[in-house]
Amino acid sequence: MSSLPPLSALRAFEVAARHASFTKAAEELCVTQSAISRQIRTLEDMLGVLLFERRHRAVVLTSEGENYRREVSAVFAQLDRATRRLSRRHEREVLNIRAYTTFAMRWLIPRLTRFHRLYPDIRVHLTASLQPLDFTSSEIHGAVRAGFGEWPCRADRLCETYISPVCTPELRHGAEPLRVPLDLAHVTLLHSLGRPTDWSVWFGAVGMPEIDLNSGHHFESSSMAYQAAHLGLGVAIGQKFLVDDDLKTGLLVMPFDLMVHLKETYYFLSSPSYVGMPMLEAFREWILVEASATASALRAGAEG
């Protein structure tokens, strides 16, 4: 039976393959470039295959090397997860979740109390950002992101997204009441810089010529636009999933029975490095149940 390669050689290979560079691997592992080169050569000699093609100032994985990288990376990721679980078993676990500001404030935070009741030992660290998500360079365990489901990680659809104008009842029935979409030309539109195309998509879907989309007030997030709508500053374009509570209480109304379905919607993404971690799996199961309950309530309201 052949012996296993030294762990140091496997680690040198994993880091060099990840960076596609012996120099960067040496910097990460705090050794010399020649030490990395020796470890890789030792590994290649033991395996009897060439893992890298050495080119001028660059190294490129061979097909055998790429296959081996996937297997070795998965093993190190599993070791990392096991080590984290063991080192933190006597601590209250911290779960790092990232979401958009509007989604967090209007849907996630109001429901977190239920999660804490079920899992009192898991402390959720929730951050909000519009920046592109990179699981490989962060300690984020899971994130809520909008898209079409095409991510290189586990992605669970949370809801269907429908958009429609929303405003206060007073504005709808005011001096210039909103009866048909063309009446929007006479009111102030409220825009979200985070969702700049919603108004344009809605106008196009209902067959209405676009009005000047540079007019009105522009806000950094949809939550700000919704708050402005609460105060009667104008009409916002609302996501039904996120304004349903306001519609139920009557704080906001939809002046037109014209909702437009978007293919882009919200997903819960799981970091590949933490898939299988109990606290992440618990949160994933919980948020999917909550999202399903919200979707059922929305369908019941539409049928009613």
What is the DSSP code string of 98-162? Answer: EE-HHHIIIIIGGGHHHHHHH-TTEEEEEEE--SPP-GGGS---EEEEEESS--SSEEEE---EE
Measured torsion, CA atoms of residues 246, 250, 256, 260, in degrees rounded to the nearest 10: 20
Give the tens place of pLDDT for each residue, 12-30.
999 989 988 988 888 888 8
Ramachandran angles phi, psi of 5, nearest 5°: -65, 150
Give the tens place of pLDDT for each residue, 156-209.
999 999 999 999 999 999 888 999 999 998 999 999 999 999 999 999 999 887
Determine the Cα–Cα distance for residues 241 and 247; give it in Å rounded to an integer: 11
Question: Bigger pLDDT: 301 or 166?
Answer: 166
pLDDT band at 88 (very low <50, low <70, confident <90, very high): low
With beta carbons less than 8 A apart as the criterion, state whether 140 and 98 touch.
yes
**Would you list the domain boundaries of the chain?**
7-87, 92-304
**Mutual orientation of helices 63-87 and 7-19 as an angle, nearest 10°?**
110
% residues pLDDT > 70 (the chain): 95
Architecture of the domain defined by 92-304: 3-Layer(aba) Sandwich (3.40)
Q: Decide: pTM greater than 0.75.
A: no
CB atoms within 10 A of CB 161: 19
With beta carbons less than 8 A apart as the criterion, state whether 146 and 268 touch.
no
CATH of domain 7-87: 1.10.10.10
Query: Which residues are within 8 A (CB) of 271 and not within 5 positions of it... i.e. 6 or more apart?
Result: 135, 140, 141, 142, 143, 153, 280
For residue 116, the Cα-to-chain-centroid distance in whole angstroms is 21
Position 118, amino acid: L
